[in-house]
Each structure stands twice: as structure tokens, then as C-alpha cells.
Structure 1
Amino acid sequence: MAVYTEVTDEELRAFIADYAIGEVISCKGIAEGVENSNYLLVTTEGPYILTLYEKRVNPADLPFFLGLMRHLADRGITCPLPVAARDGEALRVLAGRPAVIVTFLTGMWPRRILPEHCAALGAALARLHLAGADYAVPRRNSLSLEGWQALVTATADGADGVKPGLKDILADELAALSALWPGRDGRPGLPQGIIHADLFPDNVFFRNGALSGLIDFYFACSDMLAYDLAICLNAWCFEPDGALNVTKSRLLLVNYAKVRPLTAAEVAALPLLARGSALRFLLTRLYDWLNTPPGALVKRKDPLEYLHKLRFHQQARSLADYGLAPEDLT
């Protein structure tokens, strides 16, 4: 979450007048995250989240995201629900941007990741994958190999200014992954479905020690389910010093597999998928590092954190490097 587009008081009042959610008490920008402009909107009816979708989001994808949240909520996943205006439509325009109000989830995301957080996340991710299995609307993952290639090209001129030699590191890793990625060039694929694709700690809420909800579905897409698990491995299981915490990784993976057992092919592919996940977030962070506009209310994230994670996965040869044996997950 972040704020790129400022909303005037006059614009906000006119926008809220189309909803039956009471009168505005306050509307404060949220600086966390990097993608869209987000505000904590408080009305006489309670708190909501107001999101304005920025240029990286394709407006044509918004019905997919909003429909997915409704679909998951109907199947027991606690996530925000789009709020319809008086005309029955949830998707509207504010300050020249597509905009939506969604319900507010109680809880807080964990600033210090504990092993029990990883255990709860693993089970919740598996439940999300099962709940999304009958969501019939597909959406291609725009941040898979083709998207990575576009980002490698877009960051080529600035990469070495962030770290000498980074341009070649990115190009070499993309070539290596392209030659190995499941489902490419006749290689066997892995089980597919709807994935969250961005389930970082700030998108997972806990309350009284229990996982209370999942948010920010604006990267959700159709892709390999185990790739979503690899994203979480990178986001949750490395310590601030860059070391993998094998207790956390084991709890994440084992608790996922208790709800949705992994195939042998998925287990074998996890180190490769973790490499791909590390490259994806290295590239998007690098792009944002080089292109965040001056004055935007957003915290840029260090791309080199994901270079360290990528190097770990490049050296991993089996699940033993993650504290596991294959039979733990199947």
C-alpha cells in the first residue's frame, strides 16, 4: 500500500455521496506497500479502505480481483469485500483513477515473524488455494518469465548503479530460469490454480495470536500453486541477517501440506520456484527503486535483499537445505 494520488476534500465528499456508508470522519493515507494509493477511510458507519488503482494495474483486471475476493469470502476465507455504491457497482472513478472501497479487517500484520506465524500462514495459503479451485475466471500471471524479461530490459540502464554487475546477474539468472521453468518448451508442468502471488507479512493479519485475514489480492492470478508457496518462503522465512530460518520454513511447508498435500514434482521444484520468486521481487523492487516519483508517500524496498535470497536458492540442491525431507510434504 502507498499513496501516489492525492484526493481533495471536495473530490472525496462527492465520491462518498454515492455510497450508503455514512459521513466521512477522516481519510488518512497509508504509506506501507508500493503498488496503489490507499487510504484508511473512517465514516460514521465505521472504518473502510479506499484504494485508487495506479498505472501498473490494468483496469481490465479489476473485475477479476473484486470477483475473486467475493468468491473466496463465500468459501470461508476472511478477506476484504468490495463495497457497492448506491447503483450496485463497486468499481468507480476518483481523482482520475479507478477506485474501490473495501471492508476493513481487524488485526495487525506481524512486525516480528515468529515460527507460529509461519505455521498459520502455511495452512491459510493451502485453504486459499482450495477455495480458489472453482473460480472460473482465469488471469495470466503478468509477472512470470515474460514480465521478468520486460523488467530486466527496463532496469538495464540503472541496475549497475544499484550494485556493480547487477545487470549481468539479472540477465544470466533469467536465462537460467527460462531453460528450467516448469511447463515451458515441453517440460512437464505443475498443478495450477488461483494464487495470491504477493502474500507478504503486511498482507496477513493476526489477532490474539490467530491469523485473522488476508488482504491485497491485486497480484492474484492463475499460476503454479507451489510458486505461491515459494513466494511465502522468501517473504517469511529469512531472518534480517539474510539467513534462512529452517524452523520457519519447515513449519510453513509442512502445515501447507497438511491441508493440501504436494505432489512429488512440486516438492522437487520448490528450490527452482524459490529462485524464480526471488528474481521476480528483486526485479520489481529494482524497478520501483529506480522509478518511484519524488514526493510519493511510499517506502521504497531494498532490491538487494532479494539478491541475497536468490543466491541462497541458487546454491540449494534439495529440500534438505530448507530443513526438510521430501516425505515431509507428500
Structure 2
Amino acid sequence: MAVYTEVTDEALEAFLELYDLGTLVSFRGIAEGVENSNYMLKTTHGDFILTLYEKRVNPEDLPYFLGLMEHLSAQGLTCPLPVRARSGANLNPLSGKIAAITTFLPGVWPRRVGLAHCAPLGTALARLHLAGQDFAMTRKNGLGPDAWAPLLAKCADGADGVQAGLAAELNEWLPGILGAWPANLPKGQIHADLFPDNVFFLGDELSGLIDFYFACTDFYAYDLAVCLNAWCFERDFSFNITRAQALLKAYDAVRPLSPAERAALPVLAQGAALRFLLTRLYDWLNTPPGAMVTRKDPLDYYRRLRFHLTARSEHAYGL
């Protein structure tokens, strides 16, 4: 989440007239994240999130994102539910952008990930994958393997300013990852960005999953690889195999992993690390001055990628 587009009081009042949400109580920007402009919206009917979709989001993808959230919610998964206007539309124009309102989920995301978070995460991710199986729409992963070489090329001139020799290393590693990428793993609707700040807890209970704006149709095990990267490293970037084992065993208990999925975990984890390294690197080099957004260090994922490049089998992840 972030704020790139400012919304005036007058524009917001006119926008809210489209909805049955009562009277505005408060409105403030949310700085976390990098993709869209997000605001916390409070009305006399409750708390909501207002999202304005920025240039990286293809407007043609929005019906998929919002439809998937509606579908998953109807299947019993706790996630934000798009609010429809009086017209029935869940997308409407605001301040020159397309915007949506979703329900607000209670809970807090874990600022320091612990072992107790990982099994509930694995269970929730498996439930998401099962709940999405009969969702009719599909969406290609726009930040999957086909995107990595072009993205690296866009960052090549600035990469060595972040770390000396970074461009050469990435160009060396990329062909091996792409060459080993699997072709026929089980696939369906995945979250693709299930970082700790997208998972809410109330006490020890997982209370919901948010931010489905990278969701797509791809390998289920790739979604697990994203989580291995995001949840299973210590602050010194050492890999916590105990967390990984808890995550994978809880997932496997709900949706059993195939032998091919298990064997592919090292390269999937390499690809997931590379994907976030490249998008963070691009944002690091291209975030507009003055944007209300928190830039994230791409070298965090360089260090994760180096670990995954040493993994030879699923045993490196506790299986």
C-alpha cells in the first residue's frame, strides 16, 4: 500500500455519494507498500480501505482481482470484500484513476515473524488454493519468468550503483533458473504476494489475508516459494528451516504436495527471490520523488537468492 494520488475532500465526497456507506468520519493515507494509492476510510457504517489503481496495474485485470476476492469470501476464506455501489459496480472513477472500496479486516500483521505464525499461514494458503479451484476467470502471472529478463534489462544501468557487480551476477544466475523452471506442476489461483504485511492475526489466530493485486493463475507451489522467502529467513538472512517445515507441513496436511512440487521447491524459491529482487530494484531506481511510499531494499532478496542457489532438494526446506 502507498499514496501516489492525492484525493481532495470534494472528490471524495462526490465519490462516496455513489455508495450506501453513511457519512464520512475520517480519511488518511497508508504509506506501506509500493503498488497503488491506499487510504483508510471510516464512515458511520464502519471501516473500509479505498484503493486507487496506479499505472503498474492493468485496468483489464481489475475484474479478476475483485472477482477473486468475492469468490474466495463466498467460499469462507477471510479476505477483503469489494463494496458495490448503488449501481452494482465495484469499480468507479476517482481523481483521474479507477478506484474501489473494500471491507477492512481486523487484526495486525506480525512485525517479527515467529514459528507460531507459520503453520496457520500454511493452512490458510492451502485453503486459498482449494477455494479458488472453481473460480472461472484466469490471469497470467505478469511478473513470472517471462518478465524477469526484460525487468533486469531495465535495471541494468543502475544495478551496480546499488551493489558493485550486481548486474553481472544476476545475468549469470538468470539463465540457470529459467532453464530449470518446471512446466507441468499443479496450478490455479494464487496470491503471489503473501508477505507478513498481507496476513493479519488476532492473538495467535490468523484473522485474514489481504492485498490480492498480484493474484494470478500459476503454480500453487510457487505461492509456497514466495512464502518461504518472505517468512522463513531471520533478520541476519539465515534460513530458519524450522519455520519452513511448519509452513510446508501445515500446507501439505490440507492440500498434499505432489512429488514433482516437492522436487521443484529449490528452483521455485530461486525464482521467487529473483522476482522480488528485480521488482524492488526497479522501484528503488524509479520511485518518484516525494511519493508517500516505503521503498524496500532489493539486497534483502539478493541474500535470500544466494541461499536458494545452494539448495539441492526439498530437504533444504525441511521436507
- The answer on 1:54 being equivalent to 2:51 is no
SS at match of 1:134: coil
Consecutive aligned runs of 4 or more in structure 1 exceeding 4 Å deviation: none
Which of 233, 236, 246 is matched with 2:241 structurally?
A: 246
Q: Which residue of 1 aligns with 2:201?
A: 206
Q: Which residue of 1 aligns with 2:295?
A: 300
- 1:247-297 deviation line (CA, Å, top 9, x unaligned): 101000010000000000000000110000000000000000000111111
SS at match of 2:309: helix
For normalisation by structure 2, the TM-score amounts to 0.99
Unaligned runs of 5+ in 2: none
Report matched runs for 1:1-330 at 5 Å.
Answer: 1-183=1-183, 189-324=184-319
- 1:130-159 deviation line (CA, Å, top 9, x unaligned): 000111111000111121122111101111
Q: Over the residues paired in the alignment, what is the CA RMSD in angstroms?
A: 0.8
SS at match of 1:193: strand
For normalisation by structure 1, the TM-score amounts to 0.95
SS at match of 2:102: strand
- 1:228-253 deviation line (CA, Å, top 9, x unaligned): 00000000010100011111010000
Q: Separation in 1 of the partners of 2:157 and 2:13?
A: 43
What is the identity, as a one-letter code, of the residue corresponding to 1:105? L
Q: Separation in 1 of the partners of 2:197 and 2:243?
A: 17
Unaligned runs of 5+ in 1: 184-188, 325-330
Q: Separation in 1 of the partners of 2:48 and 2:172?
A: 44
Q: Separation in 2 of the partners of 1:225 and 1:12?
A: 39
Q: Separation in 2 of the partners of 1:148 and 1:100?
A: 30
Q: Separation in 1 of the partners of 2:87 and 2:307?
A: 52
SS at match of 1:233: helix
SS at match of 1:153: helix
How many residue pairs get matched? 319
- 1:29-82 deviation line (CA, Å, top 9, x unaligned): 001111100000011111100000010000000000010001101111000011
- 1:159-185 deviation line (CA, Å, top 9, x unaligned): 1110111111222222111211111xx
Identical-residue share of aligned pairs (%): 64
What is the identity, as a one-letter code, of the residue corresponding to 1:107? G
98-107 or 148-157, larger mean C-alpha shift? 148-157
Q: Separation in 2 of the partners of 1:105 and 1:36?
A: 18
Q: Which residue of 2 aligns with 1:328?
A: none
Instruction: Give 1:321 shift.
Output: 2.1
Q: Separation in 1 of the partners of 2:269 and 2:52?
A: 31
